[in-house]
Structure 1
Amino acid sequence: MQSLTLQATTCVSALLLCLAPAFAQQHQHVMVNPGELTWKDGPPSLPKGAQMALLYGDPAKDGMFVMRLKLPANYRIPAHTHPTDEVVTVVSGSFNIGMGTAFDAAKTKAITAGGVVAMSPGMQHYVQIDQETVVQLSTRGPWAIAYVNPADDPRKSQ
């Protein structure tokens, strides 16, 4: 019996040692100022022109992540949904957002610097950017976007 307990303890200890790096990666510590951000092309799921800077986590993996999106003037994101809660904080500029299945600029609301938009999973929404705008997106991965009209998906034109 003592041998069985020792084997079980050894197995659990070995498993915890193997999993420790994965747990450590999930709880990273980040401190960054705006001038230290590294901007890259936005994800292929967004229309061309967007840039992104990853601040925390990994959008491709399960778990919390935070990224900034820099959206150019005269930029639109057609009606779409996300499978998880999404919180968008406007860092600079103006983020014009509307709810529904079809883009209608007249039905957007301008959210200005410091403003927040919080949406539940499946909320149909669209975006119009009139001036360069930076937003911070806080949500859970893996990040996904589903366009209401599949023909609007920029991944289909690549």
Structure 2
Amino acid sequence: MPSLNHSRCRVGWLLVAGLWFAGPANAGELDPKAISIKLPDQIDWVANPGGSETAVLVGDPAKPGLYVVLTKWKAHHNSQPHSHPNDRFITVISGTWWVGTGGDYQPDQLKPVPAGSFVTHYGKEVHYDGAKDEDTVLQIVGIGPATSTPAK
């Protein structure tokens, strides 16, 4: 007679196999009132003059309120020293992001921030950033308006 644990194991595998064979083909449609999905080819990227591209995911960075954007720094492009009025919360999605602080632009002093890292840019503090040898994608979350003030 099989043990209780053996029977549970067999039942568990049957459930897994049933889910595997049922697969996505039999999955119901998602309720658009409950969830919204944008696949990578549905995200609209806009080129910026400084060598980056931006995709707004949530909100409007030009207006007051929460926003979420993706920023893609193209290889060999950096910003000049600047600040933002509010804190910004950044996750490095891919590539290596290079960052510096202070009003004296020193690209040879940039520090690497690898993919998977989380960074806070504090409001009104001067920094500069960009990409060296590879494109870098960031997710930036903040409270707008997301203006940028050049350092003097």
TM score, norm. by length of structure 1: 0.68
1:90-109 matched pairs, under 5 angstroms: 90-109=92-111
Partners of 1:82 and 1:30 lie apart in 2 by 30
Match of 1:38 in 2: 44
Give the C-alpha shift of residue 84 in structure 1. 0.2
Where 2:41 maps in the other structure, the secondary structure is helix
Q: Which residue is equivalent to 2:129?
A: 127
Q: Which amino acid aligns with 1:126?
A: Y
Give me the whole-angstrom Cα distance separating, in 1, the residues matched to 2:47 and 2:108. 29
RMSD: 1.6
CA distance, structure 2, for counterparts of residue 39 and residue 144 of structure 1: 19
Report the Cα offset of residue 80 of structure 1.
Answer: 0.5
Deviations 1:16-40 (A, max 9, x none): xxxxxxxxxxxxx753343331111
d(CA) in 2 for partners of 1:53, 1:83: 21
Normalized per residue, the structure richer in helix is 1
Long gaps (5+) in structure 1 = 1-28, 150-158
Amino acid across the alignment from 1:84: N
Moved more, 120-129 or 33-42: 33-42
Question: TM-score, structure 2 length as denominator?
Answer: 0.71
Aligned-residue identity in percent? 31
User: Deviations 1:28-79 (Å, cap 9, x if unpaired)?
Assistant: x75334333111123xxxx432111100011111100000111111001000
The 5 Å alignment of 1:22-101 reads 30-42=36-48, 47-101=49-103
Checking the alignment, whether the CA contact within 8 Å between 1:65 and 1:139 is kept in structure 2 is: yes
